Structure 1
Amino acid sequence: MTTVQQANLLGGRALREGLRTPESLAPTLFIPVFFLVVNFGQAGRIFPSSTTDFLYGQTYAAFQLPSSLLLAASFGSAALYLVEDIEGGYFDKLRASPVSRSALVIGRLLAEGVKGVVITAVLLVIALPFGVSVASGVVGVVLLLVLTALWGVVFGGFMQLIALKSRSAAATNAGGLVFFPLLFLTPNFVPRELLTRPMEIAATLNPVTYVMEALRSLILQDPQWDVLTRGFGIVGVLGVIMVALNVRLVRSYD
């Protein structure tokens, strides 16, 4: 059996884990929708679509939606299920079997990607009553789904690193909190050029900024290929790094 086939089988198992505990998906949807509703409710009248250039004729909810998408994609459960496997001894059984170490890592991340596509699609539908549309059309919707899912894979890989190092559900849960400062050190509420200079520098150094701006460009404008190249480039580089580090940890796991 090839590494790809093994990864697909393990990915299917990871998806079934999620289906057996659908309540674990509740925060994944509720918290991003909550942020969208609250932020739109607080600032929607401050930034009216008719007079705010950076909204391109849409409501402020369209500007905020990428934050909710990234937040939802960062609620992955792969690392917590991995901790369960470690604590229950199943992970040791997998390591003792002729399963590729790459497949052990990639399988769960594939499941995170699939869940990311589904959750992104649901959030796009939920956002419609708030006056949000995807200006880049069908191509833009597909790119939104892919880019958000890829970010979920990247962050899932980061969480798995914590799980493999700590072997603790508490430590893994705590590690997920790192996303919140990353999210708020982006042009979350206004475009980057409207930030104060210190915040602009922080946002420029923050890789999440470029993923957010790529998602935002797809919602508000026709495809901006330079912005999209930066966003996809970030998730591509970080994805390779996360997979490589995960595989290295699995191989040296004792």
Structure 2
Amino acid sequence: MNQTWVLGQRALREAWRTPEAILPTLFIPLFFLVVNVGQAARIFPSASTDFLNGQSYGAFQLPASLLLAASFGTAALYLVEDIEGGYFDKLRAAPVSRAALVLGRLFAEFVKGVVIAVAIIALGMVFGIEIASGPLGFVLLVLLTALWAVVFVGLLQLIALKTRNAAATNSGSLIFFPLMFLTPNFVPRELLTRPMEIAATFNPVTYLMESQRSLILDDLDWGTIWPGFAVVLVVGAIMLAANVRLINHYD
């Protein structure tokens, strides 16, 4: 655990020293939020749109921005830099747990995910978005976003460890965009066409989005909340096992 803590601190310092890599993580999701709300808010007025529960369309769109912010995966690119520069081989030669090499960066990504989620939610609240599930809902919303950030960057770390190539790792992050657009992003799932509804049902990101949306628009509805946490826990367990296995067999 101490090795994980030390390596996590190092990963956080990397992020702190390169703010130009963090700023897009905030700017791009907020840009999409403003654009999507600007295009559709008048179509779905809060007073007459049942699925908004009296809130603005921005509250409905906020989960998409949170998930987008959590899906940049910059930590995996830092890992590629370590591999290409030879520092990763030095870490492997040191008396450091192989699991700690994986967990350190994932811990740092969790911390960054918490900070970014709090910043985006707080900004949304400044513009009138309310968290209907209260303080506990706020904590769960931040936690779910940060856990997804860990899962996604862990999947990108698999690409980084396998290919050892920055271009391949960066391209891997693009998989999130088709997953995002195959969700009930603009309207609830029951309003989608049948083919889109089927695609959204089989898309794990849908359950993350619906869980976050429930925390924002409803009181604590555990029947909608728990599937989002189930997705990050199951996919996260698979991701972690694959990372540890891959690094243990790293030549």
Q: How many Å separate the matches in 2 of 1:46 and 1:111?
A: 40
Match of 1:60 among 57, 60, 63: 57
Match of 2:234 among 231, 234, 237: 237
Q: TM-score, normalised by structure 1?
A: 0.97
What secondary structure does 2:5 align onto? helix
Match of 1:51 among 44, 48, 52: 48
What secondary structure does 2:214 align onto? helix
Q: How many Å separate the matches in 2 of 1:121 and 1:191?
A: 25
What do the CA deviations read for 1:63-100 (whole angstroms, capped 9, x no partner)? 00000000000012110000000011111111111111
Task: Say if 2:16 is the partner of 1:11.
Answer: no
Q: How does 1:1-254 map to 2 (within 5 A)?
A: 4-254=1-251
CA contact (8 A) 2:110 2:150 kept: yes
Equivalenced residue count is: 251
Q: How many Å separate the matches in 2 of 1:32 and 1:126?
A: 12
Shift of 1:129: 4.1
CA contact (8 A) 1:40 1:64 kept: yes
What do the CA deviations read for 1:180-213 (whole angstroms, capped 9, x no partner)? 0000000000000000000000000000000110
What do the CA deviations read for 1:123-150 (whole angstroms, capped 9, x no partner)? 0122124321101110011001100000
What secondary structure does 1:85 align onto? helix
What secondary structure does 1:190 align onto? coil
Structure 2: give runs of 5+ residues left out of the alignment: none
Structure 1 outlier segments of 4+, above 2 Å: 128-131
Q: How many Å separate the matches in 2 of 1:243 and 1:78?
A: 15
Structure 1: give runs of 5+ residues left out of the alignment: none
Q: TM-score, normalised by structure 2?
A: 0.99
CA contact (8 A) 2:73 2:173 kept: no
